């Protein structure tokens, strides 16, 4: 009965998580749409194109700059353009999309040809929004804007000749600082406090070495966070960058991290003492699972007699992803007797980890492949000698299985010397900025 209630609670927690994800995703969509300020969407149109009429002062000016004198007159007359926003669907080619806006194959050829000199049109991904500008009177296509990178537009001007220009969009970097108390969950309260999902996901990942989000987070835990955004002014779009600073206080436990670019050029997170957030081997290489059997002598559930259990078991549903416990190389991935589908990773001279009873391996996982901590390597199952879906996890130290939960794992990189000095000075700046933004 108790078990059932626990399961029900877990299910409820998951459902509410999805709900918030869904709600916030809706918000993102709404935000994206309001940016374009398109109030009407023609639903009858099979391509669901968005059409709007605009008075394009800006376009007029650019066109004059980008065309030589004898064409200026033609273009200058255009002050009313109709903009059509076309979202590229899967397997749609640019030629096919643009052809219906162009009167002749010759122009089509010229347009495609000129664009190809600057941009490989095969790289046009589904979801990209191409902007077409038609002269309202003649219905002639005069301009195309293709967003080819986050901050770069390709502008195509169609007159007697076709000209193509790359335009770097105006961007503005912004810092944001937020602070909140957890009343429900780190995630849902973050959403309530207008912290973007991308940042919340980064925050959860950042703390995955320290916290079990189901057990450790208590009501009134404090979260304080600072992060970047890049605003693309021309498109009225916003991209969220890195977390610069994060603090979670649970009762008296203060977990605080600062972003830092190491001498090797990696962006990583360190505490005030310059110790890396990453622990070298995860004690729990799985999300949301329950510890179902500990390390030590126990009566074996299948064999029936007392036997040493040389790992820990996590009960989880079939298919739950299993993460690499640390950076390393796959030493074994295949069937291994009672272990069933089994993976062993060699992390360094002394440490290995093993994962048993998997239902299957992640695609690409085989002997000799390098994996990073936290990457999915396989999925929970019940293969081999097993009574039900669970992950059997072993940490192997000098070729002997050890108890992960009593092991004091060596921490990740610790900054020293000049690198530590640099970190401390940057840390102070990050913290001062954070406080400024919070209390200004
Ligand atoms: Zn086991």
pLDDT score, position 100: 83
Question: Please, what is the Cα angle at 57 between 38 and 114, to 5 degrees?
Answer: 85
Q: How far is the CA of 366 from the centre of ligand 1 (A)?
A: 22
- pLDDT (tens, 9 = 90+) of the chain, 440 residues, equals 444 555 555 545 554 545 544 444 433 333 333 222 222 233 333 333 444 444 443 443 333 333 333 333 333 334 688 888 889 998 888 998 998 888 788 889 999 999 999 999 988 888 899 999 998 888 889 999 999 988 899 999 998 889 999 999 998 999 999 999 999 888 899 999 999 999 998 998 888 766 666 656 778 889 999 999 999 887 778 889 999 999 998 777 788 999 999 887 778 999 999 988 876 688 889 987 788 888 888 777 777 777 788 999 999 999 999 999 887 789 999 999 999 999 999 877 778 999 999 999 999 999 988 787 788 999 999 999 998 999 999 999 889 998 888 777 656 788 999 999 999 999 999 999 999 999 87
Q: Whole-model pTM above 0.85?
A: no
* Cα-to-centroid distance, 2 and ligand 1 (Å): 23
Ligand 1 centre to CA of 20 (Å) is: 35
How far is ligand 1, taken at its centre, from the CA of residue 313, in Å? Answer: 5
Distances in whole angstroms, Cα of residue 354 to Cα of each of 289, 357, 377, 394, 398: 17, 10, 11, 5, 13
Alpha-carbon distance of 338 to 306, in angstroms, equals 17
Q: Which of 267, 258, 254, 202 is nearest to 223 (CA)?
A: 254
Q: Where are the domains of the chain?
A: 1-37, 47-168, 169-278+415-440, 290-402
Task: Identify any residues that bridge with 309 across adjacent strands, giving them in sequence order.
Answer: 296
Spacing, Cα 399 to ligand 1 middle (Å)? 17
Distance 435 CA to ligand 1 centre (A): 48
Q: What is the dihedral of CA 28, 34, 36, 38, to 10 degrees?
A: 130
What integer pLDDT is reported at residue 207 of this predicted model? Answer: 82
The DSSP-derived string for 319-377 is: T-EEE-SSSEEEEEEEE-GGG-EEEEEE-SSSEEEEEEEESEEPTT--TT-EE-TT-EE
Q: Which CATH number is correct for 169-278+415-440, 3.10.450.350, 3.30.300.30, 1.20.1250.20, 3.40.50.960?
A: 3.10.450.350
In whole angstroms, give the CA distance from residue 363 to residue 105.
44
65: part of which helix (H) or strand (E)? helix 57-66
Distance (Å) from CA 292 to ligand 1 centroid:
9
- Which among 401, 423, 427, 425 is positioned nearest to 413, based on CA atoms? 423
pLDDT tens per residue across span 50-90: 444 444 434 433 333 333 333 333 333 346 888 888 899 98
Burial of residue 403, with CB atoms counted within 10 A of its CB: 0-12 exposed, 13-18 middle, 19 or more buried: middle
Q: From residue 375, how far is each of 54, 237, 259, 357, 394 by CA, in Å?
A: 48, 30, 21, 18, 17
**175: which 2 tokens?**
């810092």
Q: What's the CA-to-centroid distance between 285 and ligand 1, angstroms? A: 14
> Domain 290-402 carries which CATH code?
2.70.70.10
179 phi/psi in degrees, rounded to 5 = -145, 135
Report pLDDT for 413. Answer: 80
Let me know how many helices (H) and strands (E) the chain has, helices first.
8, 24
Partners of residue 299 on adjacent β-strands: 306
CA of residue 290 to ligand 1 center, whole Å: 13
**CATH topology of 47-168 equal to that of 169-278+415-440?**
yes
Q: Give distance in angstroms: CA of 312 to centre of ligand 1.
A: 5
Of the candidate CATH numbers 2.60.90.10, 3.10.450.350, 3.40.50.2300, 3.40.630.30, the domain formed by 47-168 belongs to 3.10.450.350
CA distance 18 to 24: 10
The answer to whether 85 and 50 are in contact (CB under 8 A) is yes
How far is residue 336 CA from its own chain's centroid? 34
With H, G, I as helix, E, B as strand and everything else as coil, classify residue 202: helix
Please check whether residue 152 is in contact with residue 167, taking contact to mean a CB–CB distance below 8 angstroms. yes
Expressed in angstroms and rounded, the spacing between residue 293 Cα and the centre of ligand 1 is: 7
- For residues 347 and 281, the answer to whether their CB atoms sit within 8 Å is yes
């Amino acid at each position: 009965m108790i078990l059932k209630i626990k399961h029900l609670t877990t299910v409820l927690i998951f459902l509410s998580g999805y709900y918030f994800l869904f709600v916030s995703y809706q918000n993102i969509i709404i935000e994206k749409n309001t940016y374009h300020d398109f109030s009407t969407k023609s639903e009858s149109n099979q391509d669901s194109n968005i059409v709007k009429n605009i008075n394009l002062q800006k376009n007029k000016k650019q066109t004059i700059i980008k065309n030589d004198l004898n064409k200026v007159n033609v273009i200058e007359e255009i002050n009313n353009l109709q903009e059509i926003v076309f979202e590229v669907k899967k397997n749609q080619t640019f030629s096919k999309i643009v052809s219906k806006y162009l009167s002749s194959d010759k122009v089509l050829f010229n347009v495609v040809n000129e664009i190809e000199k600057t941009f490989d049109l095969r790289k046009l991904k589904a979801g990209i929004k191409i902007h077409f500008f038609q002269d309202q009177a003649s219905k002639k296509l005069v301009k195309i804007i293709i967003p080819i990178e986050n901050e770069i537009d390709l502008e195509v001007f169609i007159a007697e000749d076709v000209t193509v220009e790359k335009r770097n969009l105006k961007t503005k970097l912004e810092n944001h600082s937020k602070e909140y108390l957890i009343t429900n969950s780190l995630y849902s309260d973050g959403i309530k406090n207008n912290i973007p999902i991308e940042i919340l996901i980064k925050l959860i990942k950042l703390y995955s070495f320290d916290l079990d989000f189901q057990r450790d987070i208590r009501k009134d835990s404090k979260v304080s966070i600072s992060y970047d955004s890049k605003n693309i002014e021309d498109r009225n779009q916003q991209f969220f960058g890195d977390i610069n600073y994060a603090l979670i206080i649970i009762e008296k436990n203060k977990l605080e991290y600062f972003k830092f670019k190491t001498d090797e050029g990696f962006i990583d997170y360190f505490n005030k003492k310059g110790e890396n957030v990453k622990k070298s081997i995860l004690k729990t290489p799985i999300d949301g699972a329950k510890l179902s059997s500990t390390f030590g002598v126990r009566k074996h559930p299948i064999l029936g007699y007392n036997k040493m259990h040389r790992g820990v078991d996590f009960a989880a549903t079939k298919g739950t992803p299993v993460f690499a416990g640390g950076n390393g190389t796959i030493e074994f991935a295949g069937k291994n007797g009672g272990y069933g589908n089994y993976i062993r990773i060699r992390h360094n001279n002394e440490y290995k980890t093993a994962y048993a009873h998997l239902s299957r391996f992640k695609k690409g996982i085989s002997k000799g492949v390098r994996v990073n901590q936290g990457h999915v390597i396989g999925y929970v199952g019940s293969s081999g000698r097993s009574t039900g879906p669970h992950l059997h996890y072993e940490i192997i130290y000098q070729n002997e299985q050890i108890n992960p939960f009593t092991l004091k794992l060596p921490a990740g990189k610790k900054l020293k010397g000049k690198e530590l000095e640099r970190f401390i000075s940057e840390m102070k700046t990050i913290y001062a900025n954070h406080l400024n933004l919070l209390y200004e």
